[in-house]
Amino acid sequence: MKRAVIKGIWGVSEPLTRARNKLNAEVPSTIKNPLSLPCVTYAFGKENCDFVKKSGDDCVLIDDKPFLFEPKFQFRNKLEMIKYAMEVDGYDEILWVDWDCVPVKKMPSNYWDIFSKKESFQACLHIYHRKKCGWRKFSPRTVPNGGFIYLRDKSVISEVIKMWEANQQDNDEPAWAKYTDSIMGEFVGTPDSLKKYWDMFEPDFCNIHGGSPFSAELLNSKDVCFIHMHG
């Protein structure tokens, strides 16, 4: 079984936007954090690859272009990187961790085994302020958060990309929601629906810093090693 924790970087450094300024601080901070897991970092754009290396880590340059998908659809680049890791580099099992997903505790040595106890895709459930899932009658604002993604089935990423292509949005998360709906039935936000998502897809090692639909008691029952400081 070939496994890796992976990260990714894409986009241009000029003009310096608020988001890019934030990323420029997060990359070296994450690399220097002693709690960070060893990872494989993928890059679109030689400048981005060089920035990661200058910050103190190795980097795999996938393409000289700084992005394959325009900024309007920037998170489609993430899906492409996950696909590359699994289909080209041959990883059977990956954990994608965003740069703003902050390690707060050392991961247990058997974390891959613990992931294997739930579904082949796992991500923290997140309620947004705006509608994300136009196909749903109920709970259209609730989606899997894309900052901490576990995946151990290579066919899933191709399926999720097809779902994104059928309903292109500025984020990858609605496509993951479409995928989980296809497995568990449409998420409707009821206690039964929440329990089903928790039992199948909610990862043990990460919490989001706000916006989870789950109770504090449930969230505190996790072995939290990462907090996703999204937004």
Per-residue pLDDT tens digits for 200-210 = 999 999 999 99
Helix (H, G, I), strand (E, B), or coil: what is residue 17? coil
Q: Residue 159: give the domain boundaries.
A: 3-228
Quick check: 50 and 66 in contact, CB under 8 A?
Answer: no
Query: pTM for this structure?
Result: 0.96
Q: How far is CA 157 from CA 21, 147, 160, 164, in A?
A: 29, 16, 5, 10
Average pLDDT over residues 75-97: 97
User: Could you give the dihedral angle defined by the CA atoms of residues 164, 84, 32 and 26, in that order, rounded to the nearest 10 degrees?
Assistant: -30
**Which one, of 94, 116, 79, 113, lies nearest residue 2 by Cα?**
94
Q: Which two tokens stand for residue 202?
A: 């909610």
Helix (H, G, I), strand (E, B), or coil: what is residue 182? helix
Per-residue pLDDT tens digits for 149-201 = 999 999 999 999 999 999 998 899 999 999 999 999 999 999 999 999 999 99
Beta-carbon contacts of residue 15 (< 8 Å; ≥ 6 apart)? none
Q: Which helix (H) or strand (E) holds 63?
A: strand 60-63
Per-residue pLDDT tens digits for 69-83 = 888 898 999 999 999
DSSP 93-143: EEEEE-TTEEE-SPPPTTHHHHHTTS-SEE--EEE-SS---TT-SS-TTEE
pLDDT tier for residue 231 given thresholds of 50, 70 and 90: low
d(CA 33, CA 108): 17
Tally of CB atoms within 10 A around 181: 16
CATH number for the domain spanning 163: value is 3.90.550
pLDDT at 120 over 80: yes
> Max Cα separation, the chain?
48
Average pLDDT over residues 105-127: 98
Q: What is the mean pLDDT of the chain?
A: 96
Average pLDDT over residues 108-131: 97
Number of domains in the chain: 1
